[in-house]
Chains A and B, each alone.
Chain A
Amino acid sequence: MSPFLLLLLLLVLSVAGYFIGQYKALNLARKAGGASRLHSLPVYYGMLTALWCCLPAFFMFLIWLGFEQTIVTGLMVADLPETARSLPPARLNLLIKDIQSLASGNIVSGEITPLMRQAAAHYVELQGIGKMITSVIVLVASVAGMLTLHRHIRPELRARNHVEKVVMGLLVVCSTIAIFTTIGIVLSILYEAVRFFRQVPVTEFLFGLEWSPQMAIREDQVGSSGAFGAVPVFAGTILISAIAMLVAAPIGLMSAIFLSEYADKRLRAVAKPMLEILAGVPTVVYGFFAALVVAPMIRGSGAQIGIDVSSESALAAGLVMGVMIIPFVSSLSDDVINAVPQSLRDGAYSVGATRSETIRHVLVPAALPGIVGGLLLAVSRAIGETMIVVMAAGLSANLTANPLQAVTTVTVQIVTLLVGDQEFDSPKTLAAFALGLVLFIGTLFLNIIALTVVRKYRERYE
């Protein structure tokens, strides 16, 4: 039975359980003399039955789903002939992959041997058995749950309290998903990064000046030494982010000031949605625009005044990224400026300051912590931005501060290292996770500082 069908059946059973539970509760109530004899409203007896019907069964289903692949593969490997099982692990893995893709009707890397065909058939059979067992277990658990509860329904059963307890449990579980996501990110990246650092020392990665992650596949291959010094990559990231912030910080801040202090209602009604549209454009669109329009334009104007500009210059990517961040900076600064109490403005006006003097000497200093926090968040966004740089920045890791040359960034390297076929024991693939770790820690650092600063700032004026 397919998982989807099984879930559907489970749902149907739960709905049935709901009505059965409610029916029994109503029946009991009638015998005992009215619904007020029940501890809870009849719907709660129904709900409790439905919960008993679906929750345990659903957990079993999830457990099976999580381990299905491992168990079935393990059984299949155990039944392979001795000659195949004694292969070295890498070859054995390849064989297993081939058998699995043969079983699902995909393309196989090598020649199909009778052994593989047999194993694939066995695999399909095991999968079928597995599916059947799950279906049976899940359905039995569901019906058993329903029957157990059905037996326990009495007028004095505290159904509402039980249901509320279960619901509270679910709410807590849902709210901890954020924690599990963070833990998952940290663990998964850390695990692969540590494997990388076992092959390449941390100091070489953090302070090495040469980055060329292509590894030699054969021993005698030339030109692919595999150097993992990430300094040029970091420098490129910083260069592009700096260009982006040079564009975004003044324009974003001035837009926010203008909109909140000068603009009349009509202009605001046009400008705010305009900025929202700018913020809503997907980054892949910005990337396409940067690569197709902005980069050739910069290159062309450079050629006219006799400067050689790379067609994947940091300037093009940085400029477009800056424009992408403008709405972000503007909306954060807007919030912060609006939080400054009106009394400060009135005070400044009363001693004869002009508007711009009030803004420059009173508002901005008062809002500075919030503005700085917003800018830090913007920097973190610039560093983590992927698509614009993937499409418009280069791949070659040049250690340069010249914005007209091509540089590469952390995110570009992660994408190029991980897209396509991967081998999870080569430093080339694992390097992406080391870069990801640096990216995560760097942005985490910026975010936490920024969020604390902004929060402190808000509390000051609340």
Chain B
Amino acid sequence: MSKSTTGSAARSSASSGRVKTIDIVNKGLKSRYRKEKRFRVYGLLSIIASAVFLAFLLSSIVFNGYSAFLQTYIKLDVPVKTGMINEQNPRRSDFQGIIKAAIRDYFPDVTERKDTRELYSIFSSGAAFQLREKVLKNPPEGDTTISLWVPADDDVDMLMKGHMKRDVPESERRLSDKQLRWIEKLETDKRIEKRFNTTFFTAGDSREPELAGIWGAVKGSFYTMIVTLVLSFPIGIAAAVYLEEFAPKNIATDFIEVNINNLAAVPSIVFGLLGLAVFLNFFGMPRSTPLVGGIVLMLMTLPTIIIASRAALKAVPPSIREAALGVGSSKLQVITGHVLPLALPGMLTGTIIGMAQALGETAPLLMIGMVAFIVDIPGGFTDPAAVMPVQIYLWADSPERAFVERTSAAIMVLLAFLVSMNAVAVIMRKRFERRW
């Protein structure tokens, strides 16, 4: 098509007799060069557009999330007297009450019921647990004062991080004027400060932002990925070996290939529907568990791994196979002894990329009930668990301002995992790639 247009243009200029072709060309040259330049700029702009968007995305997440790695703590001196701790069963002592008494001690001029309640609410409810742990670890003898840095409530945390303004009318912020005054008193006494937020890396999910952490989700992701890896790596490689090395060229093989290519493009949520209908409803496997999540993700990543592994097998030159066959190996011995070891780096790279995909996947896991609110840190493959992307989704839905920064921080952690996985894949490709 294009050839004919250029051809006819050349013919018309030749047939116009005295007008020299070169003049026509020269006349149009300026505008053609302009067009060339414009086209080039469009190309550059589209690259820049992607770069700008990526920079915008990453910087907004870092900007929103970096403060989540710090958490406001308040120093509290907790007087513990004999009788406060239950002698027979220290676990069942009223730690909440002890903390409240300590708070009242520190602010003796707050007496009204309504005020005390507001006062308590600047401290996190996690304070009592912290005290409990400390007391259970080394039980106090006699009357002592335990000095604790307890987490502040998320509203106080937001105030200290500057996400909540102090100089707006009382009705426009979540802390009252009285609470502000108490916080100022704590500030002048140097009893309130921001510290590294270890809770974020060690705790499970919580309704209280200051007590919520990603460790539960990280472990859930870990177990899920183990299941996915253990299933998809051997199956993917076996399928690739069969299709690339053994399969006869016939309709059945073609059908398998069409299926694999199509499955690679099926929306991930459809795999979730499959998991829900088959694994949960038909086989009665437990909901919300890494086991089922891993199997569903395995089905999803399998096409990626198979396609990458086949490419790796294809890259091994036939001379290797022929040499091995020539010294009397059987076909399977050729594969296991010579072709597979040479193709393995490529297969591993494909597998890592597939795993990175699976690690970031959310939609199919929503279908199999991995969106439940789970506080406990999962300890095995059949414990209910959340995974990191789902945790991000759940926190993104929470209204508290403090969850916005925690969501962003969790995203940073997830991206760090993904980037390092991809980096490993790239390094492996560079290191072991062989050109024959």
- List chain A positions with a Cβ less than 8 A from chain B: 66, 69-70, 160, 164, 167-168, 170-172, 174-179, 181-182, 184-185, 188-189, 191-192, 250-252, 254-255, 257-259, 262-263, 267, 271, 274-278, 280-289, 291-293, 323, 326-327, 347-348, 351-357, 359-362, 365-366, 377, 380-381, 383-387, 390-391, 411, 414-415, 418-419, 424, 432-433, 436, 439-440, 443-444, 447-448, 450-451
Contact = CB atoms under 8 A, between A and B. Distances in A.
B47 A189 contact: no
A258 B45 CA distance: 10
B393 A255 contact: no
B10 A351 contact: yes
User: Chain A at the B interface: mostly helix, strand, loop or mixed?
Assistant: helix
B414 A285 contact: yes
A177 B366 contact: no
A278 B422 CA distance: 12
B230 to A, nearest CB: 11
A254 B362 contact: no
Contacts of A281: 57, 360, 415, 418
26 contacts: A164-B330, A167-B332, A168-B242, A174-B236, A174-B242, A175-B256, A178-B259, A181-B274, A182-B263, A251-B50, A263-B47, A267-B47, A276-B422, A280-B418, A281-B57, A284-B392, A285-B392, A386-B366, A411-B267, A414-B273, A415-B269, A433-B273, A439-B270, A440-B267, A443-B266, A443-B267
B277 A284 contact: no
Contacts of A285: 57, 61, 360, 392, 411, 414-415
Nearest to A414: B269
Given A255-B43, A381-B265, A436-B269, A179 B255 contact: yes
Contacts of A384: 266-270
B436 interface: no
A335 B53 CA distance: 24
Nearest to A322: B53
B262 A447 contact: yes
A189 B263 CA distance: 15
Contacts of B367: 414-415, 418-419
A262 B43 contact: yes
B292 interface: no
A387 B362 contact: yes
Interface of B: 1-3, 5-6, 10, 25, 32-33, 35-36, 39-40, 42-47, 49-51, 53-54, 56-57, 60-61, 64, 234-236, 238-239, 241-243, 246-247, 255-256, 258-263, 265-271, 273-274, 276-278, 281-284, 299, 302-303, 306, 330, 332, 356, 359-363, 366-367, 371, 389-390, 392-393, 396-397, 404, 407-408, 411, 414-415, 418-419, 422
Contacts of A171: 238-239, 241-242, 246
Q: Which of A172, A282, A326 has the most CB of B within 10 A?
A: A282
Contacts of B404: 292
A146 to B, nearest CB: 23
A326 B51 CA distance: 11
Closest CB pairs A-B (n = 4): A384-B267, A258-B43, A282-B360, A188-B277
Nearest to B1: A365
Q: Which of A171, A291, A293 has the most CB of B within 10 A?
A: A171
Nearest to A354: B36
Contact of B47 (A258, A283, A292): A258
Nearest to A261: B43
B50 A278 contact: yes
A185 B270 contact: yes
A175 B274 contact: no
A386 B54 contact: no
A283 B267 contact: no
Contact of A284 (B39, B40, B238, B389): B389
Contact of B54 (A267, A278, A291, A354): A278
A66 B279 CA distance: 10
Contacts of A326: 50
Contact of A251 (B5, B46, B56): B46
B187 to A, nearest CB: 30
Given A351-B10, A411-B269, A447-B262, A391 B277 contact: no
B159 to A, nearest CB: 21
Contacts of B282: 188
Contact of B273 (A181, A189, A447, A451): A189
A172 B330 contact: no
B274 A188 contact: yes
Nearest to A377: B265
Contact of B276 (A262, A280, A418): A418
Given A171-B239, A365-B1, A411-B267, A66 B283 contact: yes
Given A292-B60, A443-B267, 18 more contacts: A171-B246, A177-B302, A182-B263, A185-B273, A188-B282, A254-B46, A255-B43, A262-B44, A277-B419, A281-B57, A283-B360, A284-B393, A285-B360, A292-B64, A386-B363, A391-B396, A418-B273, A439-B267
